[in-house]
Structure 1
Amino acid sequence: MSDAPVYEIDPDTFWRDPYPDLARMRAGCPVAFVPQLGATLLTRREDIFVNEKKVEVFSSDQPGGLMTVLMGQNLMRKDGTDHQAERKAIFPTTSPRTVRDVWKAEFETATRALLDEIAPKGRADMVKDIAMRISGDALRHITGLTNMSWQEMDRVSQGMIDGCANYAGDPEIEARCHDCTASIDAHIDAMMPRLETDPNSSLLSVQMRAGLSEEQIRANVKLAISGGQNEPRDAIAGTIWALLSHPDQLRMVQVGEVSWLQAFEEYARWMSPIGMSPRRIARRHEVRGVTLEPEDRAFLMFGSGNRDEAVFERPEVFDITRDCGPSLAFGAGPHFCAGAWASRCLIAEVALPMIFGHLAGLRLDGEVPFGGWAFRGPLRMPVSWDA
């Protein structure tokens, strides 16, 4: 076990708002053991940025980790040549060219249909009625599971997310996660024969053509769903909330002074939909005078690094004019998010401009609570507009 100083948290408070605790850790114990999480947390941006690349120490191969146990060993839980081989196999689905030439049109068609349907209603929950559906429809096409509804896509994603963050070992959460992975497997079973005869650019199809084993294919589809539904959903709704809460910055985007992409990337830095990535310590290593021992669990706290006062001026402030280059929103090093291009396209090129363009006078219509620290986003977001 590491000899890091111990920092105690209240789990409920940390889930509601982790940023005060993370700020105290950055200031007083930037590498700290949190007993409630059973892990040593790295909270400074430079420590995360440098050490994430040291895969010989901070290993993603975690045989006993929750993601591996519940979802199978996907490419994100592999290092070195094994990771690179599977990343290369899925690249035809996630490449900038495929996003531009294939997925963007799918995103636009589905988003336009949703907005045409909902515009006359004049009010909705931005999370559940709009962002969730946009994200779910996009993921149905990218994964190849077009036989799954967007509602089921969101359900199984949330179930796996909850399972992978179930460090307290709640048996009900684990059972729901198993039910969700079984649903994904059933939908994969139904789609594989179709894609054998009619291949496309989807993740399921390109992995089949690349000759990956069924075990690899299934694990990587589950990874894409766990990381490709909640985060875009929360980023779409969250960026809209941030802009509506900062009307001066919304005007800057609408008149073209800054881009929708800048707004999204600043939100992703500020609120960090993906707040943490776990690692297994593979060999003894020292960080800031703290010795990490083999088999220790370490959490790279992206959400904390993105608010590091040593890197970002007034990091607690939402400012779409800032340089987000140092942001860790998509990770760093060999495990940089493979879906980054698709996310940027869906959110910044399609969802944000189309939502503001179709829903005239869009405004907040109630309280918007947030939750989560490993994955963070708005829990509900009542809005209205001029129908």
Structure 2
Amino acid sequence: MTSTVHSVEAGGTAVADWITLDDLDRDPFPIYARLRRESPVAFVPVAGRYFVTRYDDVHTVDHDPDTFTANEAGSLMKRSMGHSMLRKDDPEHAVQRASYGGVLKPKAIKQLWNQRFEENFERFFAEFVARGPGACLVRDFAAPYAAENLRVVMGFDNATHEDMLRWSQTLINGTGNYADDPSVWALAETSYSEVNDALDEMITRFRREPDGSLISHIVNSGAPEVTLEDTRANLKMSIGGGINEPRDALTTTVWALLERPEQLAAVREQGRWKDAFEESVRWVAPIGMYPRQTTREVELGGITLPAGAKLGVVALSANRDETVFENPDEFDVFRPKKPHLGFGGGAHFCAGAWVARAQVADIALPRLFERLPDLRLDPQQPPEIGGWVFRGMTSLPVHW
């Protein structure tokens, strides 16, 4: 990466043609730091969009949907998952989101889901421990735990947590398929059809026998504005984020604490698991980038964007903006509380944030460290992390 960010005379647009997809996947943070310094809004040819990297500019985009629409033309998410509420603006977005009711909110979590999360913790923790030291916390615990929690909340009684994991990963891979890999699209299309078939079966059942699950609530809410195609797309979107966010937040937090024994000791002593969770989501935002598109010519980050410009709103970068967070590249549970953008912002703030906090900060984190007081990293197998559209641990072998 020796080239410089240079300006094109037409419009003075900064073009970051030195960025590669491989560099972004491996470690995007040096790239984003450079963009924040030199060109906070720059066109990145390899992604086909302008990256918005500073906190204040991301905040501006999040809170001005009239100028920066979520309904992007040619959206990879639309192709992979259908036209979900995440790619719509209010008032249409608000109608779609209202169809979820209170199923993902604190009252329902307390009354319905925490007990199921606790049961799932016991099940998958026992399977994890049975594998013995050297087991991977991502593959052998966090992924199946998050997937089963989501399966229960959504009401996919006709699927397994393995189905949920496969659907989530292949649909997410489609959403981030900037390389336009045909094999990625093929797997996403298979999952697309499988989710539709499973959902149609559950809709028929829940119309006869409703319960507290998300599918049941949507199909029995009596909202004619929300069509079957809307529901299919919205639930595919939830399958994606509903697994990767808690899985990645959990494993990134464990990794960060194991690397910092003094902070881990303080978190244990003071019960600061929620602080550790929030700092982890700031430090490595599980949803690293999301798209927007300009509806008119507008100035942002010192450049003029034309109408129809495609943006990559980079939460991974905004959460490490030096003008907002002191020593932003450091994981620090004692950091003064400031709003982070790890769950997005504005009308599209993540609907599953409370569910993620409950299953990770309230249940999994404290119980993991209580049950395994000498939990530590595997000295022979280093952890691995990757991604930029979605970023998280890909491998976390541990001993105890």
TM-score by length of 1: 0.96
Q: Are the aligned partners of 1:2 and 1:40 in contact in 2 as well (CA < 8 Å)?
A: no
Structure 1: segments with no counterpart, 5+ residues: none
Residue of structure 1 in register with 2:255 after alignment: 241
2:307 maps to 294
User: Residue 5 of structure 2 corresponds to which residue in structure 1?
Assistant: none
* Distance change in 2, residues 1:356/1:28 (3 Å): same
The corresponding residue for 1:372 is 387
Partner of 1:354: helix, strand, or coil?
helix
SS in structure 2 of the partner of residue 91 of structure 1: coil
Aligned partner of 1:193 in structure 2 is 204
How many Å separate the matches in 2 of 1:63 and 1:40?
Answer: 15
8 Å contact from structure 1 (residues 62, 280) kept in 2: yes
> Given that residues 272 and 376 in structure 1 are in contact (C-alpha distance below 8 angstroms), is that contact kept between their aligned partners in structure 2?
yes
Which residue in the other structure is 1:133 paired with? 144
Is 1:152 the equivalent of 2:167? no
Q: Select which of 112, 123, 136 maps to 1:102.
A: 112
Q: Give the distance between the partners of 2:66 and 2:131, measured in 1 at CA.
A: 54
RMSD over aligned Cα atoms: 1.4
Superposed CA deviations along residues 1-29 of structure 1, whole A, max 9, x for unmatched, are 97520012022111100000100000011
C-alpha distance in 1, partners of 2:316/2:131? 36
**Is it true that 1:232 corresponds to 2:246 in the alignment?**
yes
**1:238–1:377 contact (8 Å) kept in structure 2:** yes
Partner of 1:135, secondary structure, is: helix
Q: In the alignment, is the contact (CA less than 8 A) between 1:275 and 1:373 conserved in 2?
A: yes
SS in structure 1 at match of 2:220: helix
Structure 2 counterpart of 1:186, one-letter code: D
Letter in 1 for 2:31: D
2:14 equivalent to 1:5: yes
3-state secondary structure, aligned to 1:163: helix
* CA–CA separation in structure 2 for the residues paired with 1:74 and 1:164: 12
CA deviations on 1:333-369 (whole Å, 9 max, x unpaired) are: 1111111111111110011112112234211112011
Q: 2:293 matched to which residue of 1?
A: 280
Choose 111-120 or 342-351, whichever is displaced more: 111-120
Q: Give the number of equivalent residue pairs.
A: 384
In 2, are the aligned partners of 1:92 and 1:206 still within 8 Å (CA)? no
Q: Give the Cα–Cα distance (whole angstroms) in 1 for the partners of residues 26 and 346 of structure 2.
A: 29
Q: Is the 8 A contact 2:72 2:310 kept in 1?
A: no
Distance (whole Å) between structure 1 residues aligned to residue 220 and residue 152 of structure 2: 17
Please report how far the alpha carbon of residue 303 of structure 1 lies from its aligned counterpart in structure 2 after TM superposition.
0.5
Instruction: Provide the C-alpha distance between the structure 2 equivalents of 1:169 and 1:13, rounded to a whole number of angstroms.
Output: 17
- How far apart are the structure 2 equivalents of 1:170 and 1:205? 35
Offset, 1:290: 1.1
Contact map agreement 1:154 1:230 (CA 8 A) in 2: no
Query: After the TM superposition, which segments of 4 or more aligned residues of structure 1 sit over 6 Å from their partners?
Result: none
| Deviation at residue 117 of structure 1 after TM alignment | 3.5
Deviation track 1:33-55 (CA, whole Å, cap 9, x = no partner) reads 00011000110001111221110
Task: Give the 5 Å matches for 1:1-387.
Answer: 3-8=12-17, 9-123=19-133, 124-211=135-222, 212-256=226-270, 259-365=272-378, 366-385=381-400
Contact 1:126 1:237 in 2 (8 A): yes
For residues 293-350 of structure 1, give each alpha carbon's deviation from its aligned partner in whole angstroms, at most 9, with x where no partner exists. 1221101110000000000000011100113422111111111111111111111001
The amino acid across from 2:304 in the alignment is T
Distance (Å, rounded) in 2 between the aligned partners of 1:3 and 1:272: 31
Deviation, structure 1 residue 241: 0.8
Asked if the contact 1:134–1:351 (Cα under 8 Å) also holds between the matched residues in 2, the reply is no
SS state of the match for residue 5, structure 1?
A: strand
Give CA-to-partner distance per residue, 1:361-384, whole Å, 9 cap, x none.
211112011110110011111112
Change (3 A) 1:172 1:327: same
* Cα offset, 1:70, TM superposition: 2.2
Query: What secondary structure does 1:337 align onto?
Result: coil
Distance 2:294 2:79 in 1: 18
State how far apart, in whole Å, the 1-side matches of 2:152 and 2:278 are: 24
> Once the 2 structures are TM-superposed, how far is the Cα of residue 120 of structure 1 from its aligned partner?
4.1
For residues 173 and 340 of structure 1, the distance between their equivalents in structure 2, rounded to whole angstroms, comes to 28
Deviation at 1:151, TM superposition (A): 1.5
Looking at structure 1, the residues matched to 383 and 353 of structure 2 have their Cα atoms a distance apart, in angstroms, of 26
Write the letter of the residue equivalent to 2:210.
P
When the two structures are superposed, what TM-score results if normalisation uses the length of structure 2? 0.93
The DSSP-based 3-state class of the residue aligned with 1:307 is: coil
- Give the Cα separation in 1 of the matches to 2:312 and 2:388: 12
Cα deviation for residue 122 of structure 1 reads: 2.7
Gaps of 5+ in 2: 1-9
Q: Between the two proteins, what is the percent identity of the paired residues?
A: 39
Shift of 1:236: 1.0
The question of whether the paired residues in 2 share the 8 Å contact of 1:4 and 1:40 is answered with: no
**Which residue number corresponds to residue 7 of structure 2?**
none
User: Is this contact kept in 2: 1:92–1:201, CA < 8 A?
Assistant: no
